[in-house]
Amino acid sequence: MANVTDLQTKYSKLAQEYSKLRAQNQVLKKAVVDEQANSTSLKEQLKQRDQSLRKQEQEMDSLSFRNQQLAKRVELLQEELVASEAKGKKGKSKGDSPSQHGLQTQNVFDEDLQKKIEENERLHIQFYEADEQHRRQEAELRARLKELEKDSEQHQAVVDGLTTKYMETIERLQGDKARLEVKAQTLERESKECRLRTEECQQQLRRCQAELNRQVKQSSSVIQEKVPFNDTGEYLAMSHLDKEDLKARDVAGQALSFIQDLVAALLNFHSYTEQRVHIYPLDSSIESISPLNQKFSQYLHENAAYVRPLEDSLLQLHQSITEDTVTTLETVIKLKSFADNFSSYTHFLQKILPYQLKSLEEECEAPLCTAALTAKNHELQSDMKRLTSVFEKVQNYINLLALPSRLTSNLLSSTSAVFTQLAACLLSLHDAIKEMSKHYNQKASLEQELPTVTQKLCTTTECLLGSLGSLTSSTGKIATFFSNNLDFFTSSGYSPRGSTLTLNPLQAENMLANKKKAVAYIQAIKKPRPQSVPYKEALSNRRVLTSSTESREGLTQQVQQSQEKIARLEQEKEHWLLEAQLGKVRLEKENQRIADLEAQLEAALGGSLSSQAATANIPAQSYEEAETEQKAAGKETTLCTSLVGMLCTTPTVEHVGDEESREQLIKTHYMSRVGELTTQLQISDSKAVHFHSECRALAKRLTIAEKSRETLSDELKVANQNITRLQDELTTTKRSYEDQLSMMSDHLCSMNETLSKQREEIDTLKLGSKGNAKKNKGR
């Protein structure tokens, strides 16, 4: 048993570690998905920044080209100015009209030169600002790239740690599996040895039975031939009563264990139903649920006040059955409290039944409820009605069984019929809960296909299905237990021979008192009487004895109360652990929603900044268009087109010869620029390919980890099933062996008593026959 408890504690620890790792795995999955989304958004931002940088570089190139044109234009104007001054010096002697014409042309050139100088300064300022902005954006992007690289390294480290943990858990589980296989083999060997021992014991029992039957026949023949005395009056079979009391206590203990399992399953079922009402069809954390569901959840929250007294009252009933009592329906007074508590729980089920039906109708009225789901909800409504009606029948039969302990006169004539009907009702209760569990499983599978189903609803539904499974198993055990012990319940083991009347509590007390007197008398006959004890010493011994018995009884009550508190605290611990898991899931969802809102806010702020930049670019473009219009209006220009682009020149004789050289310079500049852009594009493509390959590798590792986790979970389930099966087999074999040994020991004791009585009678008969023979000889 110690090995089994150690295995259970180890597997509970392993299950807790597995649940923790599963929660961490889900968090890491979400983190990887978030980082992938962040990486895609950053890639898009990087592409947009690259496009803006390309546009700014093109503008810078166009501005530099325009600056060069203006510088050459200024040089040409200066040369023309020098030539015009030389011509003016030569033409001073010719008259006043040419000099005035030269001055006018000089003034025009000066104004044009001033405008070009101002435009050149403005273009220099714009070029400097664009260069500074480009450098600033490049530094920000590099810092962001470093942060992303650090984040990716951290995630890789986390993934590596998880893979190592999973490998360690796999190795540990494999070792546990090997140990369990070895223990299973040892248990099989022990079971084989126990079977061999039972066969030997059965053979010995058969031999003893044959020998005892032979001796009984021999003694009965002797008694019939030699003894004329025949006892045909009423007597009470004390040994039989002892057996019946032991059997009743054993049956009450088994019923207490089954009722404890039933109470735990009912508590879980009602609490998870309350959680489901708060989640579906409306989530109480997002919007308020209907007043009907609020009232339903309020009633369900009070379920412990109706379910816990069942276990307490049956525990008191089990404690009331002792060796000093006679257990009948008339003497078992604690059965009344159990019947009252069961009636209160049945009234609670009747009270919550209409709310359950209305809640299922609200689920049918949901917008995404399909026809199959509505059909399952209608089936569940009929199952709940049937379950409540079966509980009412069980309540009626338990109240009938509790009637003899309440009334002085026995109004219950046929208890066997009540017990048989109660066994049938328990079987129908098991069938009703089994049908409801099946329909709930089908409904859960249909709900998982809905698009609006949440993780919180899935976990609550799984817990609800687990509670229904435990409820089904506990009711099945109760039904089989009651049907197996139906012969004991319906047997009239406590009525006197030849009488159909039952025992009253007063008769039971008198019978026990007579039994104690008979036992004391027989012990006094068999053993020599001890010396008398002084009265004062007897009083002191009695005080010590009563104080020790009272302290022992108080300690036993304290131990039982502490055990009950421990069981209740463990159930509450499991309940609050499930609540904590649901709270973690809710917290993760809220964190994800906050992160999404922050991302949307950042995207909105980024859009507003880009719109401001666009509005800032529009006035500059409009200003340049206005300047070109003014230039076109003030002076006639000529357009020169080529393969590279369009060139605007003034119709001068000196400028015509430089068009080809200027076009060649433009070609070389753009070719060098295209080469730089191609290199940058290749670098960015290589980085993108590298990041893509890393993401694929991470995805593959994640799928491998998930597959290994699934295989490990399947192996763990199989191991748990094997452990539970082996434990059930072990408990059943132990119970059967204990029952057989108790029956054999009782039978041997009774046979030893009969043999001792027969030997004493034979000895007395022999002595009597010898005395008669001596008397005859004397005569």
d(CA 37, CA 720): 40
Please tell me the number of Cα atoms within 13 Å of 718 on its side-chain side.
Answer: 12
Q: Is the pLDDT at 119 greater than 80, yes or no?
A: yes
Q: Where is 695: in which H helix or E strand? A: helix 659-778
Cα-based torsion angle of the residue sequence 33, 34, 38, 39 in order, rounded to the nearest 10 degrees: -30
Q: Where are the alpha helices (DSSP H) in 227-334?
A: 238-279, 291-301, 304-320
* CB of 373 closer than 8 Å to CB of 443: yes
Predicted local confidence at residue 2, as pLDDT = 60
Whether the predicted pLDDT of 704 surpasses 80: yes
Taking Cα atoms as reference points, which of 518, 496, 497 lies closest to residue 507?
496
User: Tell me, what DSSP letter sits at residue 237?
Assistant: -
Q: Give the model confidence (pLDDT) of 343-380 as tens digits.
A: 899 999 998 888 888 888 888 887 778 888 888 888 88
Could you give the CA distance from residue 247 to residue 328 in angstroms, rounded to a whole number? 12
pLDDT for 651 beyond 70: no
Query: CA 528, CA 492: separation in Å to the nearest integer?
Result: 39
User: What per-residue confidence (pLDDT) applies to 632?
Assistant: 43
Look at the alpha carbons of 729, 731, 736, 741 in this order and tell me if their dihedral is positive or negative.
positive
Measured torsion, CA atoms of residues 698, 701, 703, 707, in degrees rounded to the nearest 10: -160
- Which pLDDT does position 489 carry in this prediction? 77
3-state secondary structure of 646: strand
- Bridge partner list, 641: 646
Quick one: pLDDT band at residue 644, thresholds 50, 70, 90?
very low
Comparing C-alpha atoms, which of 252, 190, 197, 192 is closest to residue 741? 197
Hey, what amino acid is at 253?
G
Q: Please tell me the predicted confidence (pLDDT) of residue 746.
A: 80
Read off the pTM: 0.39
- The residue with greater pLDDT, 531 or 339, is 339
Looking at the chain, the whole-number percentage of residues with pLDDT higher than 90 is 2
Q: Which helix (H) or strand (E) holds 641?
A: strand 638-641
Residue 327: inside a domain, yes or no? Answer: yes
**Could you write out the three-class secondary structure of 92-133?**
HHCCHHHHHHHHHHHHHHHHHHHHHHHHHHHHHHHHHHHHHH
Quick one: residue 498, left, alpha or beta (phi over 0 = left, psi -120 to 50 = alpha)? left
List the single range of 108-117, 132-141, 538-547, 764-773 with lowest mean pLDDT.
538-547
Say yes or no to pLDDT of 659 above 70: no
**334 three-state secondary structure:** coil
Indicate the helix (H) or strand (E) that contains 639: strand 638-641
User: 620-652 in b/e burial notation, b at 16+ Cβ within 10 A?
Assistant: eeeeeeeeeeeeeeeeeeeeeeeeeeebebeee
Over residues 403-412, the mean pLDDT reads 54
Tell me the C-alpha distance between 297 and 275, whole Å. 8
Highest mean pLDDT among 232-236, 414-418, 627-631, 762-766: 762-766
Question: Reduced to 3 states, what is the DSSP secondary structure of residue 649?
Answer: strand
Q: Report yes or no on 157 lying in a domain.
A: no
pLDDT digits (tens, 9 = 90+) for 19-71: 788 888 888 888 888 888 888 888 888 888 888 888 888 888 888 888 888 88
Greater confidence (431 vs 658) lies with: 431
Question: What burial class does residue 134 get, using C-beta atoms within 10 Å of its C-beta: 0-12 exposed, 13-18 middle, 19+ buried?
Answer: middle
Q: How many Å apart are CA 374 and CA 256, to the nearest integer?
A: 39
Domain with 258, as residue range(s), is 251-494
- For the record, the structure tokens of 227 come out as 């003894």
- pLDDT confidence of 291, banded at 50, 70, 90? confident
Q: What is the mean pLDDT of the chain?
A: 76
Look-up of token digits 């620890």:
13
639, 646 contact by CB (below 8 A): yes
Residue 672 within any structural domain of the chain: no
State the amino acid at position 3 in one-letter form.
Answer: N
Q: What is the DSSP annotation of 530-566? A: PPPPPHHHHHHHHHHHHHHHHHHHHHHHHHHHHHHHH
Task: Provide mean pLDDT across the span 394-399.
Answer: 87
Q: How confident is the model at residue 4, as a pLDDT?
A: 66
Give the chain's domain count.
1
Give whichever of 178-182, 476-480, 689-693 has the largest mean pLDDT.
476-480
Does any domain span residue 299? yes
Residue 664 lies in a domain: no
Q: What pLDDT, on a 0 to 100 scale, did the predictor assign at position 116?
A: 79
Burial 269-305 (b: 16+ CB within 10 A, else e): bbbbbbbbbbbbbbeeeeeebeeebeebbebbeebbe
**Higher-pLDDT residue of 545, 316:** 316
Residues 651, 639: Cα–Cα separation, whole Å: 10
Most confident range, picked from 55-59, 103-107, 492-496: 55-59
- Confidence band (pLDDT; 50, 70, 90) for 656? very low
- Kindly state the average pLDDT of the residues 629-652: 42
**Orientation angle between helical segments 505-526 and 238-279, nearest 10 degrees:** 130
Q: Which of 569, 584, 583, 571 is nearest to 271 (CA)?
A: 571
Average pLDDT over residues 578-585: 78
List, in sequence order, every residue forming a beta bridge with 646; answer none if it has no partner.
641
What pLDDT is stored for residue 672 in this prediction? Answer: 81
Q: Counting Cβ atoms within 10 Å, is residue 411 exposed (0-12), middle (13-18) or buried (19+)?
A: exposed
Looking at residue 331, its pLDDT comes to 67
From 425, 471, 486, select the one nearest 251 (Cα to Cα): 486
- Cβ 503 vs Cβ 328: under 8 Å: yes
CA distance 658 to 656: 6
Mean pLDDT of the region 300-311: 87
Please state whether the peptide bond connecting residue 281 to the residue before it is cis, i.e. omega within 30 degrees of 0.
Answer: yes
> Over the stretch 80-100, which tens digit does the pLDDT of each residue have?
888 877 877 766 555 445 556
pLDDT in tens, 737-754: 788 777 877 878 888 888
Length of the chain: 779
Percentage of residues of the chain with pLDDT beyond 70 = 76
79-90 CB burial, b ≥16 within 10 A, e <16: eeeeebeeebee
Q: Which of 485, 478, 486, 558 is nearest to 310 (CA)?
A: 478
| Single-letter code of the amino acid located at 426 | L
Would you state the pLDDT for residue 431? 92
Distance CA(310)–CA(256), nearest Å, equals: 10
What distance in Å separates the CA atoms of residue 650 and residue 643, rounded to the nearest whole number?
A: 20
Quote the pLDDT of residue 87. Answer: 78
Predicted confidence (pLDDT) per residue in 158-197, tens digit: 888 888 887 888 888 888 888 888 888 888 888 788 888 8
Instruction: Examine the pLDDT at 233 and tell me if it is beyond 50.
Output: no
Residue of higher predicted confidence among 481 and 747: 481
Tokens matching residue 712: 């490990």
Report the first-to-last Cα separation within the chain, whole angstroms.
74
- For residue 500, pLDDT over 80 is answered with no
Phi-psi region of 60 (alpha: psi -120 to 50; beta: other; left: phi over 0): alpha
Answer whether residue 654 is part of any domain: no
For residue 525, what are its two tokens?
A: 């006959």
Residue 353 counted as domain residue: yes
- Whether 616 maps to a domain, the answer reads no
